[in-house]
Structure 1
Amino acid sequence: MSAEPIDSPTGWVREHIDRYVSSDGVHGHEWNGTTTLLLTTTGRRSGEPRRTALIYQRAGEDYVVVAAQGGAPTHPAWYLNLQARPEVQVQVAGDRFTARARTADEAERARLWPVMTEAWPDYDQYQTRTSRRIPVVVLERL
């Protein structure tokens, strides 16, 4: 991914990303009592790099994010992108690296969901808004 990423079209997310990038994660890594990372996927149709900010937690050496989209009936675009192309770019504070993304299996999800809801309790509410099983995604540094 050599081109400049296209940031989330959501205004407040785009502003969050701008602060995060311009401060090398000093502003934006900690957000509303939790931590966020920047995830850059490759567009499954466009081939363009797409960047969004996501709440994360650690699971050993891995990073964990949730494809909640506020409980929308469909998966977020970033999740669909990484399903098609699982190699992603990640920024955690000032640390930038390549990772492989994968959806947690059911046993892993059962273990990681409470970790993520402790970091962001609204995830439980988001799950009640949708009939889809909200995916938990594991990012493994390459």
Structure 2
Amino acid sequence: MESPDYFLRFPHFQRKPALPSNDEFNRLARQMKWKRGSKKYKHERSDFLASEFNIHYGSDATKLENWQRLCIELDIGQAIGSITKCRKALAKVHVNLVDLVDTRRTGESVEHFPNVSALRKYTKETKKVFPKSAAKADGFLKALLRVII
């Protein structure tokens, strides 16, 4: 990714920061004439979602404060004292990563699913799939990554 703010690469694009991420990206894709499903579309969507996550939650996975903020936002608790404990706590949380990014964009809270099966069903129904390549590259996202397909 070239910039922490993905949209700096597109100065003529009129951003609407309160829109859900899929809607915002699809507006840009239409403007740029990226065909849905193409390699370019998939690559740009992956970069966009990773950038959105990093803007809202930070990109330094070595800072305990970043992990604690994510745990607090996901209602895990405030008193987690190490990155390892945060990772373990997050391993028990099942949220859709696109929805998590959207909590900062739309102000709506993210839904917690009771298990991976319920998350998988929701993700497939809504087609809100966070690109695995982007999630694996980021320490925070990797902690929340679940096998969906």
What is the TM-score when the length of structure 2 is the normalising length? Answer: 0.30
Q: Quick check: which one's helix share is greater? A: 2
Q: Quick check: which one's strand share is greater? A: 1
* Structure with larger Rg: 2
